[in-house]
């Protein structure tokens, strides 16, 4: 076969296979057998192996390929991917409807769509070829996950028209796939995904696209970000157009002439929701006319022409079999309800939070009770109430023990606390939980040291405190179950890299009571070394902004312990950094700037700086940037399309600058 004939045959195969993919995954109407599809794919791959220079990005062979990435790169969206405001009841929707009518009058219609419970992503095409896919991120900057998105077969690699366009949609995991994935993970002894949304997000953030490909994700496109191809007059027309050029949209949508029609649509899907093959958590309502959308505009965070109605959390009834106690890293004893397995919001629930002993008494929960269970925020299962009328008399009161379930030490209730605590510093559960906290992402960020690995190391007596992590040996790790050479090498490299972390990560990782991530950063900036922090007095600590008396007392008490002093010395000997390496703290009183000592709010869209850049420059000049306008706000900087924050600042008589004034003051 000549080179030109090969090129021609490759193009034929790509067109055929892309069309068959479209029919199967988008239209759900396959026209060829699996065997015929596989035969054509094999022919394509053999020809591409002979002529690799003829491989193109739109080839179906390119959906999964290449080596795992080292990390995701950042991507700036061409226009912000804004979140939607929420409505939780009919009253919220009527308020939304009233605001729309005040702006555009009564001549408009809504378009209602199912709110898919997945991960918002952006797809960019040039001359009809899929070039870039990104996560929503913070709405302005996301992460490049192109290779993972290519594994979703309902996403076209080549459009029917050679156009430049950017579209937005929701990548999701079908219910059936989610259940199969969790069964596999349970068989392997791995932690289960909480829900399909988490599973989809976790799949798309895998550095190896082959893993994402195995997860069988899907996607619905719901909007256009940038469009150089066609002039549209409505959102519904845009969805129809997206279908015409090859995208998969959700057909369960309806144009509604009134809010009453919207409420009917919501009621219908609230009942039919369990019958769908994918999870939804609400209904999205948008003004259909694009001209009216433009007239209504945006707030800083969301469009004024759209709102998301969130379904109430699903509640189910099951029996409470037992109450199990766990010990946290600070010694707090937390009761957890053990339930007869029941399906709630798409997942099987066997456990639910009970928080503390007072809540058990307040709700009069007994062992053997029938209880109502829901997922708070559709994520965390919790017991709502007891069905007292279903009691038989065989239920038993639950009594909190007087000693720790892990080490048998006496439990105490500290002043002003509802929780019982184990105050034994050598309690195995506290040590284990403390180790898990130390290696966590916001602390020392040691990749590969999850809860199960920590438990394994602890149970094998390889670690007893955090310093032991830095003395782990390759040969002893290789002897452990499920520890291959590559995973051991990666783990040891991650432990070694963590030694260079700035001081605030170490302070937070040590788990000092009442010291969170923000306080750890403040302490690191103020004292700069662990030695200076250890030597700090109560008086010195309480003079620092945001460090109250209780926190200061907790810090002094912690560093006074001999075992803590010994631990710090061990960490030093193992080469762990003990100094702050981040930007210096700014003392507003020593800075001569228009921002020094002021509380400032940024709102609207800035043209010359990103919001984060502006925040950093203001804070470097002694200002404090916050997210909401209040009486304590000194200054509001308003970009274009500023919304409710600007309105509130005007009402409160707060000084307001535009971006030009901001830039002028930053340059002084």
- Active site amino acids: 115
d(CA 639, CA 660): 9
CA distance 10 to 59: 9
Task: Please report, to the nearest 10 degrees, the dihedral formed by the alpha carbons of residues 65, 66, 72, 77 taken in order.
Answer: -60
Separation of alpha carbons 79 and 166, rounded Å: 10
Whether 181 contacts 168, CB under 8 Å = no
Task: Supply the DSSP symbol for 410.
Answer: B
What is the rounded CA–CA span in Å between residue 454 and residue 446? Answer: 11
Altogether, the residues listed in the chain come to a count of 668
Q: Is 623 helix (H, G, I), strand (E, B) or coil?
A: coil
Query: By C-alpha distance, which of 548, 491, 543 is closest to 519?
Result: 548
> CA 531, 535, 536, 538 torsion: positive or negative?
positive
Contact in structure between 140 and 77 (CB atoms under 8 Å): yes
Please state, in angstroms and rounded to a whole number, the distance separating the CA atoms of residues 668 and 664.
Answer: 7
Q: What is the DSSP letter of 554?
A: H
Q: Which residues contact 298 (CB under 8 A, 6 or more apart)?
A: 82, 304, 641, 643
Instruction: Report whether 604 contacts 638 (CB < 8 A).
Output: yes
**Strand ranges (E), 345-410:** 347-353, 366-367, 370-376, 380-386, 396-397
Helix residue spans in 445-548 (DSSP H): 451-459, 474-478, 485-498, 503-509, 517-527, 530-534, 538-542
Q: Decide: helix, strand or coil at residue 266.
A: helix
- Rounded Cα distance between 323 and 481, Å, is 31
CA 286 to CA 111: how far, in whole Å? 5
């Amino acid at each position: 076969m000549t080179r030109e004939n090969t090129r021609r045959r490759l193009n034929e195969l790509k067109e055929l296979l892309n069309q068959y993919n479209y029919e199967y995954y988008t239209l759900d109407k396959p026209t060829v057998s699996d065997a015929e599809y596989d035969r054509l794919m094999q022919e394509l791959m053999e020809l591409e192996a002979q002529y690799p220079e003829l491989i193109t990005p739109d080839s179906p062979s390119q959906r999964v390929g290449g080596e795992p990435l080292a990390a995701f790169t950042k991507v700036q969206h061409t226009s912000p991917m804004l979140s939607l405001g929420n409505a939780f009841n009919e009253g919220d929707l009527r308020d939304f409807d009233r605001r729309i009518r005040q702006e555009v009058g009564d001549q408009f219609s809504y378009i209602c769509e199912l709110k898919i419970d997945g991960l918002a992503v952006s797809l960019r095409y040039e001359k009809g070829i899929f070039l870039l896919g990104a996560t929503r991120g913070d709405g302005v900057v996301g992460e490049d996950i192109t290779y993972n998105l290519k594994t979703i077969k309902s996403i076209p690699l080549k459009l029917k028209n050679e156009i430049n366009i950017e579209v937005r949609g929701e990548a999701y995991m079908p219910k059936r796939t989610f259940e199969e994935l969790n069964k596999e993970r349970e068989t392997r002894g791995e932690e289960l995904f909480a829900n399909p949304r988490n599973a989809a997000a976790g799949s798309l953030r895998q550095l190896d696209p082959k893993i994402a490909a195995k997860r069988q994700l899907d996607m619905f496109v719901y909007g256009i970000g940038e469009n150089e191809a066609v002039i549209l007059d409505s959102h519904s027309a845009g969805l129809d157009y997206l279908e015409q050029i090859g995208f998969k949209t959700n057909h369960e949508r309806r144009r509604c002439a009134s809010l009453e029609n919207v409420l009917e649509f919501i009621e219908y899907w609230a009942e039919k929701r369990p019958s769908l093959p994918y999870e939804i958590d609400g209904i999205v309502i948008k003004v259909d006319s694009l001209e009216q959308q433009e007239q209504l505009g945006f707030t800083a965070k969301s469009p004024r022409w759209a709102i998301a109605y969130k379904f109430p959390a699903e509640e189910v009834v099951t029996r409470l079999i037992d109450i199990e106690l766990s010990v946290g890293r600070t010694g707090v004893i937390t009761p957890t309800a053990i339930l007869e397995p029941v399906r709630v919001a798409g997942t099987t629930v066997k456990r639910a939070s009970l928080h503390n002993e007072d809540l058990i008494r307040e709700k009069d929960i007994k062992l053997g009770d029938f209880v109502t269970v829901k997922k708070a925020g559709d994520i965390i299962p919790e017991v709502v109430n007891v069905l007292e009328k279903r009691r038989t008399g065989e239920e038993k009161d639950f009594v909190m023990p007087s000693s720790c379930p892990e080490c048998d030490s006496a439990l105490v209730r500290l002043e002003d606390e509802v929780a019982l605590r184990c105050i034994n510093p050598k309690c195995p559960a506290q040590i284990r939980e403390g180790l898990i906290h130390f290696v966590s992402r916001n602390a020392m960020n040691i990749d590969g040291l999850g809860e199960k690995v920590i438990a394994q190391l602890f149970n094998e007596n390889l670690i007893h405190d955090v310093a032991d992590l830095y003395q782990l040996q390759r040969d002893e790790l290789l002897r452990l179950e499920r520890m291959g050479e590559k995973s051991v090498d990666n783990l040891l490299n991650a432990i070694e890299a963590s030694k260079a972390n700035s001081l605030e990560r170490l302070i937070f990782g040590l788990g000092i009571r009442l010291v969170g991530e923000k306080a750890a950063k403040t302490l690191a900036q103020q004292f700069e070394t662990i030695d200076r922090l250890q030597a700090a007095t109560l008086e010195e600590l309480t003079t620092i902004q945001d460090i109250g008396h209780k926190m200061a007392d907790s810090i002094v008490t912690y560093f006074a312990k001999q075992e803590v002093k010994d631990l710090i010395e061990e960490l030093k000997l193992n080469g762990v950094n003990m100094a702050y390496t981040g930007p210096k703290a700014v003392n507003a009183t020593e800075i001569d700037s228009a921002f020094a000592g002021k509380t400032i709010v940024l709102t609207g869209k800035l043209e010359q700086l990103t919001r984060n850049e502006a925040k950093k420059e203001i804070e470097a000049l002694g200002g404090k940037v916050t997210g909401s306008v209040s009486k304590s706000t000194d200054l509001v900087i308003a970009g274009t399309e500023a919304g409710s924050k600007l309105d509130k600042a005007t009402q409160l008589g707060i000084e307001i600058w535009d971006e030009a004034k901001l830039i002028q003051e930053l340059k002084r």
